[in-house]
Structure 1
């Protein structure tokens, strides 16, 4: 039975390349689909005309729309515990432990961090027009379900851990060395320009609400305009597309290499078979074929020490082996003088 044309290493490379190519293509299509949907979505500003636009739809709903406005709290705003003058509608406090981990392979210390504590506080908020008019304001629903919270870092402090001699000795033995704690505060500040992309609905009481789309499309809240988000999605889509293409090329190159090697083996096998048939035909035409019960000559093959010497190796001219041993040579070099073999001719003994 012939061996598989693909080695285990090539099979692993081929399978992983195809798997990564499929995954990257899926991510590319997903990002491209979201970017296309945002490109086609209506672009609106918070203003007095929004209720009329929604009423004209007949359903009081726009399934996917980009709305730009200014953030204002619907209730009491959140105040930063570190900067009393800052007020926001979403606050996230994060405490991270930073440490060094010994990497035995790289023989060096690498940075690592672990979230020790994370707290998120939120108060209901709305988007209003730049003029600050209350009419036509849009209430933002479920902001924590957005793909990414539009927060700004307003406070950051790193507290370094002090170590004694015993602590340092224990760190080197354990392979972990604490650096300290990083405390950060992020907020969505009142007065920020925010773009919300989602489903816009008009309730019976006349209020407007921006909420996650019912069809599962991406729900985005971003500082700034929608063009920035669209550019980021298109860049990510292009990156995953090229990554999928590179992995596909690697898989194709691996498969072609394996097929080329299998084809060369097949051609070499055919050449050996044809060479053996031609050799046997020449011996039969000269009447030099051995009978089954005929004794072997004294000049036996120097390789197998069983069969008679049947061929002359050119250009060195040594007569030293049988034809089967000649075919089994790992390299086409003379077993006597190691010179390259250009061709072989049958030996005729009278």
Structure 2
């Protein structure tokens, strides 16, 4: 059986499409599983009798719940260095350098940024009842391990860099122009409504704790409700699903192209074999030998210069080549006059 006539480009397209299709399908299934777990998770509030809920399940731990409450510090809260009236439990300070970089391909300046400094501070905090019920609270463990920190931007300042003439000249020569520094502060403010999705555990001392799931499922802390998180996960899962489908279609197209080429190559070989057999049958019918006799007159093929001329090309009538060279012609045109060849008949030398 002949090997599949696939080009290196098609082989690269097929392999990369299959690889990306597998990767995108894995991401789709991962997001879909997390969305399904959030959909099935119990929806609770800190004001509910959570200990009774745990007792009803017969265990001291719920592996996956969505619980809503109000953020309160368990100890002293963090104070913003720029706004003394703002207090929070998580703070992130970021200093970024912005610059323009010359892109030789696009022939234009493009924006680029680099994080110069990043600091994250946190203090222990709890979720309390939205209705202000006293005594009801859930401690939030390892908040920095959440998939995304629930922070709000409370301060932002851009300090532009001053440039002199020499600086501008060096910037054009180096291909980089500094624009300035962006300083931002993000905080999880005290009193914010927070939705936590993770494992709810009752410790021996009677305290309730929201912590990352032991089975490695997603640990989420969100300022919005769980419905918005579910919608985002379903949208992302749908995106990876369509990406998987497109990559699969690309792989199928490359494979189908190779199969079509194999089919037409096989069909062309069959047609050439039928043509050769018809030619040999016609020679035998006229009483000529199947293979050319070496004692025949020396009329040499103009293409290979080794075999005798065996073919008459019609309708131009030129007898210039052997049958093997006729079959090897890249185009069905006469090698002498370049006119199209309708059919070929054996050459009879007398």
TM-score (norm 2): 0.95
Superposed, 1:1-350 pairs within 5 Å as: 5-289=5-289, 294-350=294-350
More displaced 10-residue stretch of structure 1: 28-37 or 297-306: 297-306
Contact persistence 1:148–1:220 (CA under 8 A)? yes
Tell me the alpha carbon deviations over residues 219-264 of structure 1, each in whole angstroms, 9 at most, x when there is no partner.
Answer: 0000121000000000000000000110000001001101111221
1:290 Cα deviation (Å)?
7.2
Provide the aligned length of Structure 1 versus Structure 2: 350
Cα distance in 2 between the residues matched to 1:3 and 1:16? 21
SS state at 1:319 partner: coil
Instruction: Please say which of residues 258-267 and 313-322 is displaced more in the overlay.
Output: 313-322
Which secondary structure state, in structure 1, belongs to the residue aligned with residue 283 of structure 2? helix
- 1:291, distance to aligned residue in structure 2 (A): 7.0
| Equivalent pair of 1:136/1:208 in contact (CA under 8 Å) | no
**Cα deviation code 1:96-121 (max 9, x no counterpart):** 11112222222222221111100111
How far 1:292 moved relative to its partner?
6.8
Which segments of structure 1 move beyond 4 Å, counting only runs of 4 or more? 1-4, 290-293
Question: In 1, distance between residues paired with 2:206 and 2:225?
Answer: 26
Q: 1:224 to 1:293 in 2, by over 3 A?
A: closer
- 8 Å CA contact 1:89–1:123 kept in 2: the answer is yes
Call closer, same or farther: CA 1:295–1:107 in 2, change over 3 Å: farther
The answer to whether the 8 A contact 2:280-2:290 is kept is: no
- Root-mean-square deviation over aligned CA pairs: 1.8
Deviations 1:261-303 (A, max 9, x none): 1221122122212211221222123222277763342443332
Change (3 A) 1:297 1:78: same
In structure 1, the gaps of 5 or more residues are none
CA contact (8 A) 1:101 1:109 kept: yes
Distance across 2 between alignment mates of 1:3 and 1:297? 41
TM-score normalised over the length of structure 1 = 0.95
Q: Which moved more, 1:270-279 or 1:308-317?
A: 308-317
- Unaligned residue ranges in structure 2 (runs of 5+): none
Structure 1 Cα separation of the partners of residues 134 and 189 of structure 2: 18
In 2, distance between residues paired with 1:12 and 1:68?
50
